[in-house]
Amino acid sequence: MQETLTSRRPLLEMRAIGKSFPGVRALDGVSIELYPGEIHALVGENGAGKSTLIKILAGVYTEYEGEVTIGGQPRRFGSVRDSEDAGVAVVFQELSLVSELSVGENIFLGREPARLGVVQWDELYSRASHLLGELGLDLDPRTGVRKLGTGAQQLVEIAKALSHNARILVLDEPTAALTDAEAEGLFEILNKLSNQGIGIIYVSHRLQEVFRLSRRITVLRDGRTVSTESATGLDEQQVIAKMVGRQVSQVFPPFGRTRGDALLEVRHVTAEDPVVRGKLAVNDVSFTAHRGEVVGIAGLMGSGRTELLLSLFGCFPGKVSGSVVIDGREVEIKRPAEAIAHGIGFVTEDRKRTGLVLDQTILANMTLASLARVSGHFVTNESREIAAGRPLFENLRIKAKSLFAVAGTLSGGNQQKVVLAKWLMSEARVLFLDEPTRGIDVGAKQEIYRMIDKLARSGLAVVMVSSELPEVLGLCDTILVLHQGKVTGRFTHENASAEQVMSCATGRQLCA
Amino acid sequence: MGNANAMPAQSSVVTASAQAGKRRTRFPAGAARAYTMVAALALLWLIFAIVTNGIFLEARNFSNLMRQAAVTGIVSVGMVMVIIAGEIDLSVGSLVGLTGMATALVEYYWHWSLVSSLLAAILIGLMVGALQGGLTSYGKIPSFIVTLGGLLVWRGMTKGISNGRTYPIELPSFRALGQAYLGRTTGLLLLAVALAVVIWSVIHRNSLRKRHGLQPWNLAAISFRIIGPSALAIGFVLALNSYAGIPVPVLIFVVVALAGAFVTENTLFGRYLYAIGGNPEAARFSGINLRAQVLVAFCLLGFLTAIAGVIYTARLGSAGPDAGTLLELDAIAACVIGGASLAGGRGTVLGACLGALFMVSLDNGMSLKNVPDFVQDIIKGGILVTAVGLDVIGKRRE
């Protein structure tokens, strides 16, 4: 260990890494190197390419350009197993533990110590116990993982990673689901591991943590490396500027909508996390959306943006309090059906999971939220449905053979239009959009922007959650920034800047 | 690594449904699938006709085959709705036994009238459907478990209330439900009504299309839509008339099948079933009350199973403690062979009916050839897995 530190030979080098997905250049010439004992932070906006880079290192993506060198040897991983064997351990944001198995079983999953195919339980649990001890974890390896909190599960993931002698540890947003105390515990362990000579790549949105932990910081933006610098020579504002530093391009429709009456007033809405007791997913949020207005809700992943919309739409699994006024009347919304009846439409974040019935036709999806009105009260009337669906099909310029094309066959942008059509058909007056342009190519994005503008101009109130700062800045009349469920910033289109919004999103500056 | 696996899995889902799209361009009509089913059924009949020297397709056997198909078919119509919603019901065989036994007992001991004993059976069916559907949708117990329990409980009750004995059905009007035929003239009258309805509905739908500003069908399309179903109806009635007329259970089956097809394809309830089975989350976000719809589907199945139980009992002229055993497997197999997916979201009443006809034809044909029982079971099992296997391979090819 002493030797490797003094020789200063990098543990890992990734040089000129490029990766393309259909329609998107996710990475373009990214380079990063990691020295033994170093904690190297990787930061960037959502979609900057961090996850893609990590997945290449983890052996998940095997097709890429550029070179990965580990301990001076060029490597090309064909599988996750290859990467693990080379000493790389990746702890993804979503934990990959089997909750029905014990801690020990999880740590050695797929690599159980065995003789002639018979699992050596004593050996397994004693080795697991030893590993947990090294991490300073006072935990019985026979405990079921389901009984552990998220923080402990995270540490079990790390133990699992280290169990195959990893020299390179990659953590993707490890504190996203942790309480402050749990995060402290994690930092202690990371420092300990770095002292043992393990190189750590630490991906996080939380700049305070990044500055506390890391020696160097690499900033990615739009799939390119912006800079790699020593943390001591930087401050948070500089990093934020590097993360967002780009011009809001001309893809957005011009402003100049006229704001009408208040349509949706949200007062002191609070939602309790259904899993973690005492945690508030949404903490006392108030805002107003007027007719003809686009309200942007910015914030990082896990900041409570989606939870806020779910709460307002009557389908958040936890307890929700606060009041909602629509068109001057206080309403109570406990179910999506009630939200729809009050004129709210919700284009959800995940089209495939919550938006569309992929097996069904475009028309069947369009009419799903308003069948009784559009078709008939008991018996459906296909002709009426077609008559109602066709204008939307044409106005939204959905590219498909006909209204009877199956939704699953469409491209992302066209699927999004179908979901939008569903809510336009339900005559929504308030439209919730959660990440409306995720996974959509640039051309279709621009089309969606224009559509949002048009809808607002026609008198709808639009509430839009987005991780993409340019989108929020370029499209929204007012911007609300959330951090850990709380409002940390309110801006109007005129006084918002990318740097300020990002500061509020990282919880640094409180301008509520 | 959770992330890692999620990506390819998701994209394969997309391609799978993309492939489905090529075949199915309308609502759950599944025309191509129906043609394949009809072809498979025709092939099966041809084989049986050859190996039985034509006996299989004789008027008498055809009439008999249709009568047997009525019970399985009626249950399959209800079953396919439950399957479309993404649930399952394993208890229908036992429920056929229980409802059949109940009618026999109330007639035997208390001399209930035809109508009262019918109502008793239907009430039991609805109650069982409501209980099992309620436990599934509101109680959140998987339907597989609820109805596996039901399979044992209802069968146990059947044996209990009958003391293990078989009871005869004395009431002639009740036996008629399973054994009687409509006169030939009545059959022809019904046929005329059916033809009139077909013609009227095509013309009516065409005028609706015009009214809503859609391209009206051309003459060829109109005649195709009229001639297809008409030819089928004429052939069906003439074939049955060449023996003794339309059997009453077959008439009931046809009515149930038409109603079931209408409910699944032309009502909000039917559309919601497909949405719930296809993507429960999307259905929830669209404001659909999932639990109520699932409950109703189970109640409908309970209702139809009671009717099947009555017909089954009437056809045999007695109710035994083991009546309807293994019927659930035939009904589920019928739905699956007819294109339903146990994952939910796919399936049609027409497919389920053809599937039921297929399963019953296997029984009938093999019995004619005196194939031993155990061989019949082996062949039926093999054909079920093969049929679904071929379908899976076919989808993958596309």
pLDDT digits (tens, 9 = 90+) for B315-374: 999 999 999 999 999 999 999 999 898 889 999 999 999 999 999 999 999 999 999 999
B354 and B389 fall within a common domain: yes
* Whole-number average pLDDT of chain B: 88
* Chain B positions in Cβ-Cβ contact with residue A386 (cut-off 8 Å): 212, 214
Give which of B220, B222, B219, B215 is closest to B198, Cα–Cα: B222
The helix or strand, by DSSP H or E, that contains position A82, with its residue range, turns out to be: helix A80-85
Q: What's the pLDDT at B21?
A: 37
Q: What's the pLDDT at B273?
A: 95
B52 and B141 fall within a common domain: yes
pLDDT confidence of A503, banded at 50, 70, 90?
Answer: confident
Q: Does the distance separating the beta carbons of B267 and A358 come in below 8 Å?
A: no
Instruction: List A residues 90-149 in contact with B (Cβ-Cβ < 8 A).
Output: 90, 92-96
pLDDT confidence of A313, banded at 50, 70, 90?
Answer: very high
A185 has pLDDT over 70: yes
The structural domains of chain A, with segments of one domain joined by +, span 2-244, 260-343+429-512, 353-427
- A227 interfaces chain B, CB cutoff of 8 Å: no
A319 has pLDDT over 80: yes
A133 has pLDDT over 60: yes
Of the listed ranges A28-32, A297-301, A442-446, the least confidently predicted one is: A442-446
Q: What's the pLDDT at B116?
A: 94
Write out pLDDT tens, residues B257-305. Answer: 999 999 998 899 999 999 999 999 999 999 999 999 999 999 999 999 9
Which residue from A minimizes the CA distance to B27?
A: A361
Whole domain around residue B314: which residue ranges?
30-180+268-397
The helix or strand, by DSSP H or E, that contains position B376, with its residue range, turns out to be: helix B373-397
Q: What's the pLDDT at A482?
A: 92
* Chain B positions in Cβ-Cβ contact with residue A377 (cut-off 8 Å): 268
**Closest chain A C-alpha to B19 CA, distance in angstroms:** 8
Write out pLDDT tens, residues A350-362. Answer: 888 899 999 899 9
Q: What's the pLDDT at B15?
A: 36
B77 has pLDDT over 90: yes
Which residue from B minimizes the CA distance to A410?
A: B18
CATH number for the domain harbouring residue B140: 1.10.3470
pLDDT confidence of B395, banded at 50, 70, 90?
Answer: low
* Chain B positions in Cβ-Cβ contact with residue A409 (cut-off 8 Å): 17-18, 21-22
Q: What's the pLDDT at B101?
A: 96
The model's pTM: 0.78
Q: Does the distance separating the beta carbons of B287 and A339 come in below 8 Å?
A: yes
B45 and B64 fall within a common domain: yes
B241 and B303 fall within a common domain: no
Q: What is d(CA A430, CA A433) in angstroms, rounded to the nearest whole number?
A: 10
Q: Which fold has domain A2-244?
A: Rossmann fold (3.40.50)
Q: Does the distance separating the beta carbons of A387 and B214 come in below 8 Å?
A: yes
- Which residue bears the tokens 């899995």? B9
Q: Does the distance separating the beta carbons of A386 and B279 come in below 8 Å?
A: no
B112 and B205 fall within a common domain: no
Q: What's the pLDDT at A275?
A: 78
B173 and B217 fall within a common domain: no
Write out pLDDT tens, residues A377-386. Answer: 888 888 889 8
Task: Give the relative orientation of helices B2-23 and A50-57 as an angle to the nearest 10 degrees.
Answer: 100
First-residue to last-residue Cα distance in chain A: 49
Instruction: Look at residue B388 and tell me if it is in a domain.
Output: yes
**Closest chain A C-alpha to B93 CA, distance in angstroms:** 31
Write out pLDDT tens, residues B28-70. Answer: 345 667 778 888 899 999 999 999 999 999 999 999 999 999 9
B328 and B187 fall within a common domain: no
Q: What's the pLDDT at B157?
A: 97
Task: Choose between A178 and A337: higher pLDDT.
Answer: A337
A403 has pLDDT over 70: yes
Q: Does the distance separating the beta carbons of A346 and B2 come in below 8 Å?
A: no
Q: What is d(CA B69, CA B175) in angstroms, rounded to the nearest whole number?
A: 17
B294 and B334 fall within a common domain: yes
Written as six digits, the tokens of B196 are: 């009139």
Burial of B162 (0-12, 13-18, 19+ CB in 10 A): buried
Write down which residue in B216, B246, B276 finishes a domain.
B246
Q: Does the distance separating the beta carbons of A348 and B1 come in below 8 Å?
A: no
Q: Does the distance separating the beta carbons of A55 and B4 come in below 8 Å?
A: yes
Q: What's the pLDDT at A231?
A: 87
Write out pLDDT tens, residues B189-223. Answer: 999 999 999 999 888 888 877 877 777 888 888 88
Q: Does the distance separating the beta carbons of B214 and A406 come in below 8 Å?
A: no
- Whether A187 and A212 have beta carbons less than 8 Å apart is answered as yes
B243 has pLDDT over 70: yes
Q: What's the pLDDT at A507?
A: 77
- Average pLDDT on A247-268 reads 81
Q: Does the distance separating the beta carbons of A96 and B279 come in below 8 Å?
A: no
B364 and B298 fall within a common domain: yes
Burial of A319 (0-12, 13-18, 19+ CB in 10 A): exposed
Q: What's the pLDDT at A247?
A: 47
**Closest chain A C-alpha to B238 CA, distance in angstroms:** 33
B188 and B172 fall within a common domain: no
Instruction: Look at residue B286 and tell me if it is in a domain.
Output: yes
pLDDT confidence of A481, banded at 50, 70, 90?
Answer: very high
B10 has pLDDT over 60: no
The number of domains in chain B is: 2
pLDDT confidence of A512, banded at 50, 70, 90?
Answer: very low
Instruction: Look at residue B251 and tell me if it is in a domain.
Output: no
- Average pLDDT on A277-295 reads 92
**Closest chain A C-alpha to B134 CA, distance in angstroms:** 20
* Chain A positions in Cβ-Cβ contact with residue B268 (cut-off 8 Å): 371-372, 375-380
- Average pLDDT on B141-167 reads 96
> Do A2-244 and A260-343+429-512 agree at the fold level?
yes
Q: What's the pLDDT at A471?
A: 86
- Whether A463 and A482 have beta carbons less than 8 Å apart is answered as no
Task: Choose between A313 and B36: higher pLDDT.
Answer: A313
Task: Choose between B395 and A394: higher pLDDT.
Answer: A394
Written as six digits, the tokens of A354 are: 């919550």
Which residue from A minimizes the CA distance to B265?
A: A380
Q: What's the pLDDT at A93?
A: 74
Q: What's the pLDDT at A137?
A: 78
Instruction: Look at residue B141 and tell me if it is in a domain.
Output: yes
**Closest chain A C-alpha to B150 CA, distance in angstroms:** 29
Burial of B48 (0-12, 13-18, 19+ CB in 10 A): buried
Which residue from B minimizes the CA distance to A355?
A: B282
Write out pLDDT tens, residues B20-34. Answer: 333 333 333 456 677
Task: Choose between B127 and A105: higher pLDDT.
Answer: B127
- Average pLDDT on A338-363 reads 92
Q: What's the pLDDT at B159?
A: 96
B112 and B36 fall within a common domain: yes
Write out pLDDT tens, residues A430-464. Answer: 999 998 887 676 667 788 898 999 999 999 999 99
* Nearest-CB residue to B267 (from A90, A346, A379): A379
Which residue from B minimizes the CA distance to A54?
A: B4
pLDDT confidence of A282, banded at 50, 70, 90?
Answer: very high
Q: What's the pLDDT at B9?
A: 36
Of the listed ranges A124-133, A144-153, A245-254, the least confidently predicted one is: A245-254
B143 and B189 fall within a common domain: no
Instruction: Look at residue B2 and tell me if it is in a domain.
Output: no
Q: What's the pLDDT at A163?
A: 83
CATH superfamily of the domain spanning A260-343+429-512 = P-loop containing nucleotide triphosphate hydrolases (3.40.50.300)
Beta bridge partners of A68: A14, A75
* Chain A positions in Cβ-Cβ contact with residue B17 (cut-off 8 Å): 358-359, 406-409
Q: What is d(CA A324, CA A268) in angstroms, rounded to the nearest whole number?
A: 9
